[in-house]
Chain A
């Protein structure tokens, strides 16, 4: 076994170690931005294309996630799907806020005809869309803050 072989083994091992780090960062990258998975997903799910065109395509202006922009849970994001989101202190709420100013079932967000609607569920301190109190189900535009107790959330693309 020559010196050269050992040197090559040594360098190759370090290279492979760093390649692992880079691959891990790559996984995180796709996790954050999701562009590659988004492109690959329809190709993988072959049996579905019949159904896909029948569904109304999601427009560009449609929100994809709900972001908490203020309060103790700041930074939390929830990816929006077809299911309604409940917010409150109750343990079974989608977003559990521990806040003395929030009710256990405080508000609900649900999709309707491509829009997301916010509805107050009879909370004590009310739900605010921008500055106005939500008294009946109201559509939520992108980027407009919804205030629930000390928590502020908004919808984003």
Chain B
């Protein structure tokens, strides 16, 4: 058969040119940011600019080529947006490293290395996983793997206790945060489970006042997840992950059933759990105390669980104001852990409100592309998976940004793609690969029949 005679407007188009242009634009912005950092700190363009810039550009070009070969119809914006966020994170870490004179734990080289690993994992995921629906068959496997990863830091030999939270495992010389990978596995599990059960969850039940109450046996999974996320919170002192996983489960339940009652039940359960934890555990109560009264002197100077970090972040952002102090000209080094949990505050100081808004817009656009993929997807499993993955990204940004700006109590979570940390970067690149894979399937035109019209038709799978 000759080339398929398509109409002149095969919408949605592949948009390769747009994608490549945006990708180049993102890399250029990152290089400009390196230059600005150098100018700000010691009035000359840093020698590392070309290394870091071209390094990032090279990785992204490789990612683009893999994407163009294995997922040609994928959304043209996802990769450029991620590139910019990842690149700005690299610049900020570089800036903090230079500012601290190499002490203090920030290391741009390590982060660049992990970015490279992330891109490789992205490529491998795209190449190996040709049809995301294969994941649907792994529903319960993914669930089991997720739970196992989540509890693995509690195991005696491989578990590690760093900074008071037992969320690390040590394999060989590497430390990993398995919760980051667990969240992906759990989303796959939730999506597969909800596709099978959503009708019974939505339809069976009694009506009480204004809300539909689900049946007790359908309530089982939500109660188990609730109990489990509370268990993680208690045993690992990891507030962030439990909030993240529980919130995502509620959102996916809502997407699948469109029942508000589930959201209400979920919120009530979470508030109940948080209050209980606050009463029972010191470290949770300390977070609430800091949240309510960060400016109190006593809390500021408290050795463990004080408000110093939060307040330094707030001071930094107020120093930045609308336009920021300029890259390399602020003092983000004063904020403890500015390169990981508090990178948002560091950016706020140097780029100001204008820069933060641009950054949040970029995250917003990324989530929008993900939700758009969910809308356009043609089977319920992809809809739920894409919706859940986009939601967890948005939810994670909300939790950490809300924490840093003292809108909600601070819980330790990384800012996706920006904070220094290998496991998070790795997991988020896999997440993006899954979104790209699904957007490719959703935007691809309907399968072409091999022969024209006949009794039997063969479709590409």
Contacts and interface: CB of A to CB of B under 8 A. Distances in A.
Interface of A: 1, 5-7, 9-11, 13-14, 16-18, 20-21, 23-25, 27-28, 30-31, 34, 37-38, 41-42, 45, 48, 51-52, 55, 58, 64, 72-73, 75-79, 81-86, 91-92, 94-96, 98, 100, 110
A21 B446 contact: no
B392 interface: no
B296 to A, nearest CB: 35
Contacts of B199: 100
Contacts of A5: 39
Contacts of B351: 13-14, 17
Contacts of A17: 29, 351, 354-355, 358-359
A20 B84 CA distance: 9
A83 B375 contact: no
A45 B12 CA distance: 17
B365 A81 contact: no
B8 A41 contact: yes
Nearest to A109: B446
A100 B448 CA distance: 27
Contacts of B383: 73
Contact of B36 (A13, A82, A94): A13
A95 B22 CA distance: 32
Contacts of B461: 91-92
Contact of B375 (A27, A34, A75): A75
B12 to A, nearest CB: 6
B195 interface: yes
B22 A27 contact: yes
Q: How many of chain B's residues touch chain A, expressed as a range?
A: 35 or more
Nearest to B44: A1
15 contacts: A10-B327, A10-B329, A18-B358, A28-B365, A31-B15, A31-B76, A37-B13, A45-B8, A48-B8, A72-B198, A78-B378, A79-B10, A81-B6, A82-B4, A98-B380
A79 B322 CA distance: 44
- Which of B7, B354, B368 is the most central at the interface, judged by chain A CB atoms within 10 Å of its CB? B7
B9 A10 contact: no
B77 A42 contact: no
A78 B33 contact: no
A10 B80 CA distance: 23
A53 to B, nearest CB: 12
A110 B446 CA distance: 12
Interface in B57-86: 76-77, 80-81, 84
B262 to A, nearest CB: 16
B448 A95 contact: no
Contact of B453 (A30, A52, A110): A110
Contacts of A64: 11
B352 interface: yes
A6 B448 contact: no
B26 interface: yes
B25 A20 contact: yes
A31 B369 CA distance: 11
B9 A14 contact: no
Interface in B386-428: none
Highest count of chain B CB atoms <10 Å: which of A21, A30, A55 = A21
Contact of B459 (A1, A45, A92, A96): A92
B240 interface: no
Contacts of A6: 39-40, 326, 329
Contacts of B358: 14, 17-18, 20-21
Nearest to B459: A92
A85 B11 CA distance: 16
Given A13-B351, A14-B323, 15 more contacts: A10-B323, A14-B354, A20-B26, A20-B29, A24-B81, A27-B15, A27-B18, A76-B375, A76-B378, A79-B11, A81-B445, A82-B6, A86-B459, A92-B447, A96-B378
